[in-house]
Structure 1
Amino acid sequence: MGATDSSLAPPRDQLVGGVAPPTARHRRAEDAPAEGASVAAAPLGRTLRFELVKLLAQWRVRVALAACWLGPAAFVVAVGQQTQLPADTVFGRWMHASGWAGSLVVLGFCCTWALPLLTALVAGDAFAVEDRLGTWRHLLLVVRSPRRIFAAKALSSAAVVGLMVVGLTASSIVGGLLGGAGHDLVGLSGQHVPTGRAAGLVLLAWGCALVGALVYAAVGLLGSVAFGRSPMGLAAPALLAVVLQGAQLFPLPAVVRLALPSQVLLGWRGLFTAPAQTGPVLAGLATALAWTAVATAAAHLLFVRRDFANPTDDGTGRRALLLGALPLVGVLAASTTLVALATPARGSGIEQAQVERAVATSFAHLYRLQTEELHRPPVTEQQLATGATCDRAGGRYAAQGPGNDWRCVVTWHLPGARAVGSAVYQIDVAADGRFVADGDGPKEVNGYFTVRTPDGDQANPLWQVDGLVDLMAPPPSKG
């Protein structure tokens, strides 16, 4: 009974030093880490590749990528074949003249709605999908580091969003070139922009859009972490876009407007004025980067504090929402304070002197363009000595702030002529500084949408004038 079964004992030739080798059960026990010992996490590079494969395997992401790389080119080519142009959009009226204008029209649309929706598809569901599928335990077992999981998901989302923006950029530019309109561009001050410089400015403008897309991506990550399996995380970037679009419609103080994260998606237009309005561009970039960093840090803090051992805890709750929203409110307050201290922006940023200067500058540049169309002797802006006198509602209201009741009388001088030319414009100034001036006569100057030239009827560049008021321009001196 007490004898050892010889069939379970190892053969003598396998004994080493009189000690039998460990059995399989012993080997498993010996190979297991000691209690309290740390287990090495999976490399970040491997985890990042895994998250990229997961993202690119989703059909909706593939469809969005295909639309980004093919849609803008098809749109620009199709519009270039039409007689009616999207004249109500920035650079829309110049799409027949320059292919770079087509890329900027696409950019304006993307900055308004396309980028928030695209980032919602990618980043807004990055964490919530694991809650819905119940795969957190498996992912943590493989990666063994919540921080590396967060970093991999954040970096993969940013990479896919960047790929989408690159596709939009390349496709819109190729579409303009395929349309046969790769010519010089007319800027927002009516100035002539050579095609080489226009190409660089277009790429810089799309770079601003990429930074703005990262803001929406960071907010999407934060919403995906804070709302758990709820679809509200998926809608967070779109909701932010709706709120920011609504805020742009109100006559907010210039310092608040410049501190909004959407400023980077509007400020790029200042690159196309003469002189360039770099202040709003830099303010928008700084604010967007701050929002991206704070939203990402808040999402990381919520994620690493989550109790993954509790299968019913998906990270949602009043505390999570509070920790996610308060940092964004704080960065908005800090950005507003810094803009107020560092810039001369005051009030709405739209003052009478600023409107008069912007209208006169645009008219002078476009008058030269009309002179070239009519084959008249060339003139310079200095020779024209263009000026403008503007008021609102016939002087019934203070000449400041946005509104569609601005009226300007533009005057200029021609070399060798004693008479002073004058033209009237009805102007609609938006709260973000963009204005559209409609010509109101005389007919030979700005009263009709075409002019008769030796080469036939051509679009009259002075009939409708697009421009941009610098919200950061110093207030006019008194005296």
Structure 2
Amino acid sequence: MARGYRFELVKLVSQWRIRLLLLVCWIAPALFVAAVSRQSSLPVDTLFGRWMHATGWAGPLVTLGFAGSWALPLLTSMVAGDVFASEDRLGTWRHLLVAVRSPRRIFAAKTLAGLTVILLLFAGLVCSSTAGGVVAVGDQPLPGLDGHLLTPGDAAVKVLLAWVCVLAPTLALAAVGLLGSVALGRSPMGLLLPALVALAMQLAQLLPLPVAVRLALPGYAFIAWNGLFTDPVQLGPLLISLAVSLLWAVTATALAYRLFLRRDFTNPAHDGAGRGAVATAVLPLVALMAVTVGALAPTSTGTGSGIEQKKVQRAVATAFAHLYRLQTTQLHRPAVTEKQLKASAACTKGDVSDDAKGPGNDWRCVVSWHLPGVEATGSAIYQLDITADGRFLADGDGPKEVNGYFLVRTPTGDEPNPLWQFDGTVGLLATP
């Protein structure tokens, strides 16, 4: 087994495209994060993009968002999607069987070698993006998705946990790649299968799906790490998505193993492709999806899209209170606590003022707060764009002194206004 594993690992690493991927994953993220952090125009349309100039811990999270959408699916396609199909293209199965004399050892060696390369690529993305951010910007505190400030130590731990959580859906895509490589043989569809599955799951996440269906998709774990950066942590959706991803990984790997052992290696024209192989690979995953949705439907307390008026109001008011304190520190005003502010939000969606639900860019919130010793109630207006997965962007709409301009005048000069625009997340499951 050890010899077979080393042999397969050497075959993978000797390919020029794998070497190029390793080089890119260990160098490119650091250069990207360092370069973007020094620009005046930041990627504010991505989570934590607006904080890349303020803390080095925002860079690896921006990289994580890009990796979950594009990089990791493509990497798993290039490695796992080709690890078995390459033998079909070269016609070397019979030679390999003569040398190893065990289909089981061949499958295990190829699977472990592919997993090793994927982990090396994954580690490169983590280490490179983190090093680029910390070296270029520094080890400063990081504002969370509800505005509360994370110390550098807490930020480091949560950034690492977020990357570890994304490893579960990466393994699920790698298992799908193994299954496609075995079932489709030399067909190029096996190589593209993980990327196509990831793209389909991304498109599904854009739709206003019920909460149970959304959580039953293994790709939801690529965005469920957002819950780590709220207080309290939104563990429910995260743990469910991790369990679903690992279940998909185990099921797809078991199906690939079963198909591989049933293959006829004595026929050079047989490459594993066929209607029977495709049906054997696809139908169990469809059944798994149906069973997962059925299991989550009665247990999840969220209904419909999970985006409800009370949740939106609570999320906006909480984030505003935390960020107001940050602005107070910038302006060197007397310190105030969230309890003293008593911030609240009244939100409407279009013409619906009571029991508004669902995603959209027509949400409008009026935030009110109180300052100690001041009788007048402060108020600020925000326009919200809430996506189907619960993420929202709050855009300040006045007054100018609070959130109507992207800079605030401080005793040390102009600084970015934390209340002008901020990102947040609405928990899709009901919380007390």
Give the letter for the 2:79 counterpart.
Answer: V
Give the letter for the 1:180 counterpart.
Answer: V
Q: Name stretches of at least 5 consecutive residues in structure 1 with no aligned partner.
A: 1-43
Give the drift of 1:344.
Answer: 1.2
Alignment match, 1:34:
none
CA distance in structure 1 between the partners assigned to 2:178 and 2:363 by the alignment: 43
Q: Indicate whether 1:130 and 2:121 are aligned.
A: no
Alignment match, 2:238:
281
C-alpha contact (below 8 Å) 2:165/2:225 kept by paired residues: yes
CA distance in structure 2 between the partners assigned to 1:112 and 1:346 by the alignment: 26
TM alignment of 1:260-409, pairs within 5 A: 260-395=217-352, 399-409=356-366
TM-score by length of 1: 0.89
Alignment match, 2:377:
420
C-alpha contact (below 8 Å) 1:394/1:407 kept by paired residues: no
CA distance in structure 2 between the partners assigned to 1:131 and 1:330 by the alignment: 29
CA distance in structure 2 between the partners assigned to 1:120 and 1:151 by the alignment: 18
Q: Indicate whether 1:116 and 2:68 are aligned.
A: no
1:463 to 409, 420, 428: 420
CA distance in structure 2 between the partners assigned to 1:222 and 1:366 by the alignment: 47
Give the letter for the 1:151 counterpart.
Answer: A
Give the drift of 1:176.
Answer: 0.8
Q: Per the alignment, in what secondary structure is the counterpart of residue 395 of structure 1?
A: coil
Q: Per the alignment, in what secondary structure is the counterpart of residue 394 of structure 1?
A: coil
C-alpha contact (below 8 Å) 2:205/2:220 kept by paired residues: no
CA distance in structure 2 between the partners assigned to 1:164 and 1:221 by the alignment: 17
C-alpha contact (below 8 Å) 2:390/2:428 kept by paired residues: yes
Q: Indicate whether 1:431 and 2:405 are aligned.
A: no
Give the letter for the 1:130 counterpart.
Answer: E
Alignment match, 1:171:
128
Larger radius of gyration: 1
Give the letter for the 2:40 counterpart.
Answer: T
1:243 to 200, 206, 218: 200
Q: Per the alignment, in what secondary structure is the counterpart of residue 86 of structure 2?
A: helix
Give the letter for the 1:381 counterpart.
Answer: E
CA distance in structure 2 between the partners assigned to 1:364 and 1:408 by the alignment: 14
Give the letter for the 2:423 counterpart.
Answer: D
Give the drift of 1:180.
Answer: 3.0
C-alpha contact (below 8 Å) 1:96/1:181 kept by paired residues: no
C-alpha contact (below 8 Å) 1:392/1:398 kept by paired residues: no
Give the letter for the 1:165 counterpart.
Answer: F
CA distance in structure 2 between the partners assigned to 1:267 and 1:403 by the alignment: 20
Alignment match, 1:153:
110
Give the letter for the 1:178 counterpart.
Answer: V
C-alpha contact (below 8 Å) 1:401/1:431 kept by paired residues: yes
Give the drift of 1:194.
Answer: 0.3
CA distance in structure 2 between the partners assigned to 1:273 and 1:370 by the alignment: 19
C-alpha contact (below 8 Å) 2:57/2:139 kept by paired residues: yes
Q: Indicate whether 1:180 and 2:144 are aligned.
A: no
CA distance in structure 2 between the partners assigned to 1:205 and 1:127 by the alignment: 31
Q: Indicate whether 1:231 and 2:179 are aligned.
A: no
C-alpha contact (below 8 Å) 1:217/1:237 kept by paired residues: yes
Q: Indicate whether 1:259 and 2:219 are aligned.
A: no
CA distance in structure 2 between the partners assigned to 1:209 and 1:70 by the alignment: 20
Q: How many residues are matched? A: 432
CA distance in structure 2 between the partners assigned to 1:362 and 1:346 by the alignment: 24
Cα root mean square deviation, aligned: 1.1
TM alignment of 1:202-217, pairs within 5 A: 202-217=159-174
TM-score by length of 2: 0.98
Greater relative contact order structure (CA < 8 Å, 6+ sep):
2
Give the drift of 1:339.
Answer: 2.1
Alignment deviations for residues 130-188 of structure 1 (CA, whole Å, 9 cap, x no partner): 00100000000111111111111111111110111111000011001110322110100
Q: Per the alignment, in what secondary structure is the counterpart of residue 57 of structure 2?
A: helix
Give the drift of 1:341.
Answer: 3.0
Q: Per the alignment, in what secondary structure is the counterpart of residue 376 of structure 1?
A: coil
1:61 to 9, 18, 21: 18
Give the drift of 1:398.
Answer: 5.6
C-alpha contact (below 8 Å) 2:360/2:386 kept by paired residues: yes
CA distance in structure 2 between the partners assigned to 1:345 and 1:147 by the alignment: 44
Give the drift of 1:337.
Answer: 2.1
